[in-house]
Structure formats: structure tokens, C-alpha cells
Amino acid sequence: MLRVMTANLLNGEGRPDALARLLDEYQPDIFGAQELSANQATVIEQRFGFGVTKPSDQNDGNALMATGPIEVEILPLRFRSALRARIVFEDESVEIMAIHLANPIDTLRGRLPERRSQVNTLEPLLERPGPRIVIGDMNSTPSWPAYRRLRRHLDDPIADFAKLRETKAAKTWAYRPGYKPRLRIDHVLTVGFRATAVWTREIQGSDHYALIADLERT
């Protein structure tokens, strides 16, 4: 079993103590962060032995961390780069990507050109064979084009897990911190994995809930 977690930390607003408690409680094997600040990065670095944190105050800080050896590389994308690595799981190499797609409505004109460019760059990489896990804030519900394009190449084990239990996958984004989540825009998408457990958990100070999933090979 491989436990993965992704969390948007609202550009430093997510409380480090709340993040620390969540990481200690769930102890993910793989953790991806978006909108990461320096104080949050310290919390993460104290709990993982491998990976990269790239804190920033410009809305583009990120991290990809693991409990086991990984070598992380920056994957250049327009507007916000992604992080990519490989891990060995059950004697097999698995590609991990941590991405943060541009929000199409976060400025007056929107960021649709940047967003389309990001997905255009990602799609050929996702066509490559082999097991893969893509996590992050994709700023896209299942009804939006960016999600549907990614789903041409990736499964959504979170949605499949919910469907088997005759419920809906939990939403992850709230209008403001402390509010009830309204949209499911944070995702764990995969090739060759299914989810055996899924959680969403509030991180005080952030407008996103953390998404945690236990994955096993199919």
C-alpha cells in the first residue's frame, strides 16, 4: 500500500501546526504541496527524509516529498512548473508528478492560455507507458475541460472508490478558510492503481482540504 497526500496551503496561510498534526496523523509515503511558504516547508522537511521543497511568496511554491529515496526534477510548465520523480514500489518504478494548474478565473482576464499550455505540455508525458501517480491542485472539477483532458490518460481512483460505496467523492475547495467545501478540484489521478481508502481533512487557515488516499497496484 502507498499512501499519498496533496494539499494546497494558501500561500502561507495554512497553519503550520495544523499541517504538522495532519502529517503526523496520516504519515503519507508521498506528499505534494502547492502554494508553499517557508514556515510550512520547515514543517514538511522535518517529517520527510527525501524530496524537494520550493517555498515562495508568489503563489508558486511547491513540494514533492517522500519517506523513501526519490530524485525530484523540475518539470517546466508555463506559469507554474511541476515536480516529477520516480519511486520504487513493489520492485517497480512508478512515476510521481505534483502539479498545480493555473486557475482560469483568478484574474480579470483569466489564465486560460497558461492553463492550456500546461495541459498541452503534460499530455504527451502522460501517454508514456508505466504506472503513474499525478497529484495536486488542478483547479478543475470533473466537468471542466482540463480534467477531462487529463482523464484521457489517467484514472480517477478517488471517484471510483466513491462510486463503489454509492456516494460522491468529497469536495476539496471552500470559498474561504473555515467554510464548507464547494468544489472538487484537488485530485489523485493514476495509471495502474486503485484506492482502498480516501480522506479529506481541513487544514486550518487554508481554503483547500488535504486529500489523502491509500493506493494499491491493480
- Could you read off the pLDDT of 179-209 as tens digits, one per residue? 999 999 999 999 999 999 999 999 999 999 9
**127 pLDDT band (50/70/90 cuts)?**
very high
Determine the pLDDT at residue 107.
61
Determine the pLDDT at residue 181.
97
- CATH assignment of the domain containing 7: 3.60.10.10
Determine the pLDDT at residue 169.
98
Provide the domain limits for residue 213: 2-217
Rounded to an integer, what distance in angstroms lies between the CA atom of residue 188 and that of residue 29? 14
Strand partners, 189: 134
Q: What is the pTM of this model?
A: 0.96
**Number of domains composing the chain:** 1
**58 pLDDT band (50/70/90 cuts)?**
confident
For residue range 161-171, list pLDDT tens digits in order. 999 999 999 99
